[in-house]
Structure 1
């Protein structure tokens, strides 16, 4: 996913970035060399939280990709492309895909909203 870094902070020795995409803005942890403010990067998004329908995952009627913040919570709205029996799932966010772990039955082919405490961005150096 293509992002632009708006601001960087070091919090308890970890880099946090304020970033924007074509789908919205959010804050994430950064893994790798300190990014430059104002510069664009191609990144992978890592989600460590296990998702549970009704807790941090909801099926939504909005069929639009989004990234944003609600207070300190990060949200991603995307298309659930697939989910395996073991809970491994793929979320499509525009042209990008994100790996997830889901602990409850959710039909693939749904648009879902994910609420997260943390995401981590990895520079893929394209």
Structure 2
């Protein structure tokens, strides 16, 4: 996924970056050396949470990808791609795919979903 770094903050040795995604803005944990403000980068996007239906993943009425950051929580809207037989799933945001872990397969038919996420981890691909 392509991002633009808008700010960097280091707190007790943990680097956070403020970023502009193609679908909104957010703050993420950064896993490499400090990027330059204004730098455009290609990154891998990781969510280290388990998603529970109707708790931190719900159906979305919106049908376009979106990322917003409010009160230390990200809201991520994307198209759900799911293997109905297990907890493997992915979220499609434009041309990007983000793997997610479900506590159990989602039985309801749904197209777009909204995830509530406490932290996003970004890893530069060096591409």
| Structures share fold, TM-score greater than 0.5 | yes
Runs of 4+ in structure 1 over 3 Å off = none
Q: Secondary structure of 1:86's partner?
A: coil
- C-alpha distance after superposition, 1:31-64 (max 9, x if no partner): 1121111100001111110000111111111101
Are positions 1:47 and 2:47 aligned together?
yes
1:18-57 map, 5 Å: 18-57=18-57
Separation in structure 2 between the aligned mates of residue 85 and residue 11 of structure 1, nearest angstrom: 41
Return 5+ residue gaps in structure 2 as ranges. none
Q: 2:118 — aligned with what?
A: 117
Q: 1:60 — aligned with what?
A: 60
Give the 3 Å change call, closer, same or farther, for CA 33–59 of structure 1 in structure 2: same
Return 5+ residue gaps in structure 1 as ranges. none
TM-score scaled by length of structure 1? 0.93
Q: 2:80 — aligned with what?
A: 80
Give, in angstroms, the shift of residue 84 of structure 1: 4.9
Q: 1:15 — aligned with what?
A: 15
State the number of aligned residues: 126
Give, in angstroms, the shift of residue 109 of structure 1: 5.5
CA contact (8 A) 1:45 1:122 kept: yes
